[in-house]
Amino acid sequence: MLSLLLINSGIFGQKSSPEFKVVAFYTGLNDRAHVSFVHEANQWFNETAKKYRFSYDSTNNWDNLNLKFLAKYDIVLFLDTRPEKPEQRAAFEQYMKQGGAWVGFHFAAFALTPSDYPQNWDWYHNEFLGSGEYKGNTWRPTSATLRVEDRKHSATKHLPGTFKASPNEWYSWQKNLRENPDIKVLISIDQSSFPLGTGPKAWEIWHEGDYPVVWTNKKYRMLYINMGHNDIDYEGKTNKELSFTFANPDQNKLVIDALLWLGKKR
């Protein structure tokens, strides 16, 4: 299994004189919506890298999450999952504590006990992300109006006060991020979005509440972005892609500005 993974792992990038270097880790095997996002992200980041003068590589070999490999990169992305092996987790924690930078999307923050992704990594879920376990989500994937809470931050300075997001499955969390002094919420769901979701289950439709979707931990060079679940035609059984995350100019500004912020030399 390991040898097959190594053969198939892709590290794709372009040769230039980049201002900073980005590497994305992904799994891309399970939920079709997440697989769709991974394929879309790899294409979009490759194109964006050429325009904004950074290099972009991607790999599905999580054994590359070691200090020797990470030393070549200024920013690490988790597109859909998280590392599972103790040595991978230890390397990532050390990388971040030594000043590395990270952007995580959607499922990269997921943890639920019991599930295939239990909360068995306290530093990552409780300290680094500050969110704890996954609590719930909206369904179906729908757009939401998002409110920018800090328009002076480098990642959000070019965004309007509110903007319409791409369709997404929105997550809620066990811990109240606003009670954590290390966490700075940058973007949350605007009240005008409610009711959010279409069900069919009642708890998949949110009618009120406070739901942060983009935040940073001030102790680290990082940003978590809850977007990253494309809409798929599950009901019609065609599995056709019905939406794309990077078809949204405002969201794209957020990601680009986040990379330019984190890519600044330490």
Nearest residue to 176 (alpha-carbon basis) of 211, 128, 223: 211
Cis omega (within 30 of 0) on the bond before 181?
Answer: no
Does the pTM surpass 0.85? The reply is yes
Ramachandran quadrant class, 196 (left: phi over 0; alpha: psi -120 to 50; beta: rest): beta
Q: Say if strands 212-217 and 221-225 run parallel, antiparallel, or are unpaired.
A: antiparallel
Q: How far is CA 174 from CA 109, 134, 179, 190, 224, in A?
A: 12, 6, 12, 20, 16
pLDDT at 13 over 90: no
Query: Cα separation of 184 and 156, whole Å?
Result: 12
pLDDT class of 2 with cuts at 50, 70, 90: very low
Tokens for 29, please give them.
């095997």
Q: Please list the residues that pair with 66 across neighbouring strands.
A: none
pLDDT in tens, 173-229: 999 999 999 999 999 999 999 999 999 999 999 999 999 999 999 999 999 999 999
pLDDT at 8 over 50: no
Query: What is residue 30's predicted lDDT score, i.e. its pLDDT?
Result: 84
| Residue 28 neighbours by CB under 8 Å, 6+ apart | 34, 35, 38, 39, 60, 79, 80
Name the residue ranges covered by the structural domains of the chain. 2-262
pLDDT at 53 over 60: yes
Query: Cα separation of 229 and 33, whole Å?
Result: 5
Tokens for 231, please give them.
């809409």
pLDDT at 12 over 80: no
Q: Classify residue 45 as exposed, middle or buried by CB count within 10 Å of its CB (0-12, 13-18, 19+).
A: buried
Query: What is residue 235's predicted lDDT score, i.e. its pLDDT?
Result: 86
Residue 32's φ and ψ, nearest 5 degrees, are -60, -30
**Radius of gyration from C-alpha coordinates of the chain:** 18
2/134: higher pLDDT: 134
Fold type of domain 2-262: Rossmann fold (3.40.50)
Tokens for 160, please give them.
């309007």
| Residue 47 neighbours by CB under 8 Å, 6+ apart | none
Read off the pLDDT of each residue in 228-254 and give the average, rounded to a whole number: 95
Residue pair 25/59 in contact by the 8 Å Cβ criterion = yes
Tokens for 161, please give them.
């006060």
Cis omega (within 30 of 0) on the bond before 200?
Answer: yes
Query: Cα separation of 42 and 218, whole Å?
Result: 28
In the chain, what percentage of residues exceed pLDDT 90?
90
